[in-house]
Structure 1
Amino acid sequence: MKKKVLFTASIAKHLLRFHLPYLKWFKEEGYEVHIACEGDEEVPFTDKKWMVPFVRSPFSIGHITSFKILKGIIEREQYSLIHCHTPMASIVTRIASKDARKTGTKVVYTAHGFHFYNGAPLLNWLTYYPIEIFTSVYADAIITINKEDYERISKKGNKKTNYFLIPGIGVDNKRFNLISKDEKNKLREEKGFSQQEFIAIYAAEFISRKNHQFLIEAIADHKEELSNLKILFCGRGKLKNQMEVLVKEKNLESIVQFMGFRNDIDEIFKMSDLGISSSKQEGLPINLVEEMMCGLPILTSKGRGHNDLVIDGKSGYLFEQGNKKEFINFLKHLYDNPELREKMGENAFAVSHKFEITNSLKEMAIIYKKFI
């Protein structure tokens, strides 16, 4: 009989977006691969998909239902290893696996970014921090993708649990890579942009955490000084309409363009000059890694996740959260110095190799083999 592994996450899209290489690895190692999540999407490299109604809110009584369903699955299937993802699904999974661990099942949890972090709202600390510390006892290993999370959980979590820091969940450098200037100009022509324009790209969902409003307001008073600037917002989300209204109010339609969700995001990155982000916090932002792999320097807010990627003054600049003056000064400096952009882009490209999927998968394979 084949040994079995189970991956859990709140929704199937999370597994599709981040974990296919890891599901594939287990298949190639001869394991029967199961997943538990919500969503109708088909997930490759899986033998069995269990529908579990995970709930994202920490205060929902729906967790009782998901716990009972998942506990029954775990007891029947007798997994060798369970790898859980996303905050509430991981908490439910760890508790539901308590008895299975007594009979040899190993439980691994990847934290893609704790909800408690330096500068997080007090409610986050009061809600998620004690839960994560308490449930750390129900994992054989907790894996983090940034230094802040690793240092905090390894110091405050259960002392018998193993803690690991890996270089993110990995980015495919076959899709995100360098192109020549001629290829870059060709892409711009195809997508309706000129060679003279200075293109800054922000690929992010329109939610409060991503803080698009900061960028719009920061640019508003300096548009005359940045006549060739184009800021491209790629993504969708509940605040998109609100941001479109704000752009009109600030008369920035000639500078800010809303590109929507893009299947050609790699080409958008490759034709750009600069990657930007004003996000209030991240686990480890994949969009910035992808941009770095395309040779873009990065201008981003200081904070968890960003600090792990950008070498300030070498591969880009880090500005203080909410500091519009500092952001604009860095933007102007990069706008006026193409040679500096090129050099920083080269440095960013060099740093990005650390976050390739092959490196992340290699480190995860070592962790997996430690427990199975």
Structure 2
Amino acid sequence: MKKILIVSSVSRQFYLFEQGNIEVLKSLGYEIHAAANFNDANERLDTLDIIRHHFDIERSPFSYKNLKAYGQLKNILKSEKFDAIHCHSPIGGVLARLAAKAVGNCPVLYTAHGFHFYKGASLVNWAMFYPVEKLLARHTDHLITINKEDFNNANKFKAGQIHYVPGIGVSTKLFNENAVSREMKREELGISENTMVLLSIGELIKRKNHETLIRALLKVKKKNFVLLICGRGVLESYLKELTISLGIQEKVRFLGFRNDIKEICVASDIFVFPSYQEGLPVSVMEAMSAGLPVIASEIRGNIDLIQNGIGGYLLNPDDIDGFANSIQILIEDAKLRKVMSVKNKDEVKRYDISKVKARMIEIYSSL
């Protein structure tokens, strides 16, 4: 049996973003191994048919522990003799490609879920990450990008083959099945039917920029709304305190990490996503699949998915007034919300999991 190793920094990568690839690899007859720092492991990993290999990789490029992790990964490669390696995340991609070059025993695929150099990124990001990715592309047999900007940048590199794949895919069929009704979910969440529900999904970290959204709520004139924020992170206490200091704590509900995102999307009215940096955001695709109009930052990834004024609004991520005005417009115009809903449901079909799996079958089969 053929063996492949999927490498990432954190183990949640496998159940959040790799289930489609795992299903494709199983259909092609691969035994699937997964290497990561499993300190963040939870029960969802048990649903995956993978063989785990822990190594002490850290997400920070400045962590000395990554030197140890590099040696551990080389030992894994030597002991298992894989037929291919598919690596993810910036540090996972660096260590895996260096280890594969040192051991020299199989082809390497690397999926860039969003290069850390991009339009609008700091000069520090470009100086630090661009040369590394350009150099390591020479040791990459298949470089996979998930948005148009990264694809264009990757074509300046000298990788074996460079591919565009439309993200990790979203199961639009699941959202159409409506397994849980809007009314039932709202009742469970304690939200009345006449309340306008804004939804935002993402880690509570600076990159996701929840603060702009929270401050924008102060300027929304219509008051019969609630914002649901799904996610957890280091800024949770700060953001909660911010809502209190602004006097809008009754308007914002922090729901933490959720396994019922589909149902929460169906129960919502408007999706708001002011992130500073993305690859191709799954949460936006899920919102589109649920038929939500999207108010988002005008950045890489978001601009692949949303047409300004058609499926929602695209704004500078720091434009507090712009987010407030866009929220106000959509709260007041039910007809416009419906038009955008239809557009997004149609547009997101281009990113359906079936299309992504078909492309990955082509790439894996070419090995």
The residue that corresponds to 2:170 in the other structure is: 171
8 A Cα contact 1:20 1:44, kept in partner: no
Are residues 1:354 and 2:350 paired? yes
- AA aligned to 1:257 is R
Change (3 A) 1:22 1:43: farther
Q: 1:313 aligns with which of 292, 302, 309?
A: 309
The one-character-per-residue Cα deviations of 1:286-307 (angstroms, maximum 9, x if unpaired) are 1111111111111111001111
Residues 197, 228 of structure 1: 8 Å contact kept: yes
Letter paired with 2:66: H
Q: Give the 5 Å matches for 1:44-193.
A: 44-46=47-49, 48-101=51-104, 105-155=106-156, 157-158=157-158, 160-177=159-176, 179=178, 183-193=181-191
In 2, Cα distance between the equivalents of 1:271 and 1:201? 9
Does residue 284 in structure 1 map to residue 284 in structure 2?
no
Q: Which one-letter code corresponds to 1:150 in the other structure?
A: F
For 1:45 and 1:262, locate their aligned partners in 2 and report how far apart those are by CA, in whole Å: 19
Cα deviation digits, residues 305-358 of structure 1 (max 9, x gap): 111110111111111221222222222211111011011011101111122221
Aligned-partner Cα distance in 2 for 1:116–1:47: 32
The residue identity in structure 2 corresponding to 1:177 is N
1:340 is aligned to 336
Indicate conservation of the 8 Å contact 2:24/2:360, yes or no: no
Partner of 2:241: 245
The 3-state SS of whatever aligns with 1:89 is helix
Q: Which moved more, 1:189-198 or 1:209-218?
A: 189-198
Pairs aligned (count): 363
Contact 1:9 1:37 in 2 (8 A): yes
What is the distance in 2 between the residues matched to 1:281 and 1:177? 29
Equivalent residue for 2:268, pick from 267, 272, 295: 272
Match in the other structure for 2:214? 216
- Distance apart, 1:176 and its partner CA: 3.0
* Structure 1 residue 96: Cα displacement: 0.9
Name the SS for the 2:6 alignment partner.
strand
**2:200 pairs with 1:197:** no
Gap change, CA 1:178 and 1:339, over 3 Å in 2 = farther
Instruction: Name the counterpart of 1:35.
Output: 34
Unaligned runs of 5+ in 1: none
Alpha-carbon offset, residue 47 of structure 1: 5.2
Q: Secondary structure at the match of 1:114?
A: coil
| Structure 1 residues 144-189: Cα deviation after superposition (integer angstroms, max 9, x where no partner) | 111111111212x11x521111110112334433649x93234323
Which sits farther off after the overlay, 171-180 or 225-234?
171-180
Confirm whether residue 6 of structure 1 aligns to residue 20 of structure 2: no
The Cα offsets for residues 97-139 of structure 1, whole Å up to 9 and x where unpaired, read as: 11555x5x21100011111111222322222111111111110
Contact persistence 2:298–2:315 (CA under 8 A): yes
After TM superposition, the score normalised by the length of structure 1 is 0.92
Task: Sort the Cα spacing of 1:248 and 1:47 in 2 relative to 1 into closer, same or farther, 3 A.
Answer: closer
CA distance in 2: counterparts of 1:365 and 1:35, whole angstroms: 19
Partners of 1:358 and 1:325 lie apart in 2 by: 39
Indicate if the aligned counterparts of 1:176 and 1:293 stay in contact, CA closer than 8 A.
Answer: yes
Q: In percent, how many aligned pairs have the same letter?
A: 35
Equivalent residues of 2:229, 2:252 under 8 A apart: yes
Identify if the C-alpha distance between structure 1 residues 232 and 262 changes in structure 2 by more than 3 Å, giving closer, same or farther. same
SS at structure 2 position matched to 1:9? strand
* Deviation at residue 15 of structure 1 after TM alignment: 1.1
Partner of 2:204: helix, strand, or coil? coil
The 1-side partners of 2:249 and 2:5 are apart by: 48
| Cα distance in 1 between the residues matched to 2:362 and 2:8 | 22
Asked if the contact 1:12–1:43 (Cα under 8 Å) also holds between the matched residues in 2, the reply is: no
TM-score if structure 2 supplies the norm length?
Answer: 0.93
Greater alpha carbon shift after TM alignment, 255-264 vs 3-12: 255-264
C-alpha contact (below 8 Å) 2:199/2:227 kept by paired residues? yes
Aligned AA for 2:211? Q
Is 2:365 the counterpart of 1:369?
Answer: yes
Q: Which runs of 5+ in 2 are unaligned?
A: none
Is the CA contact (8 Å cut-off) linking 2:170 and 2:353 kept in structure 1?
Answer: yes
CA RMSD of aligned residues (A): 1.9
In 2, Cα distance between equivalents of 1:236 and 1:62: 25
Deviation at 1:281, TM superposition (A): 1.3
Contact conserved, 1:78 with 1:100, CA < 8 A, in 2? Answer: no
In 2: Cα distance, 1:312 partner to 1:368 partner? 35
Contact 1:37-1:53 at 8 Å conserved across structures: yes
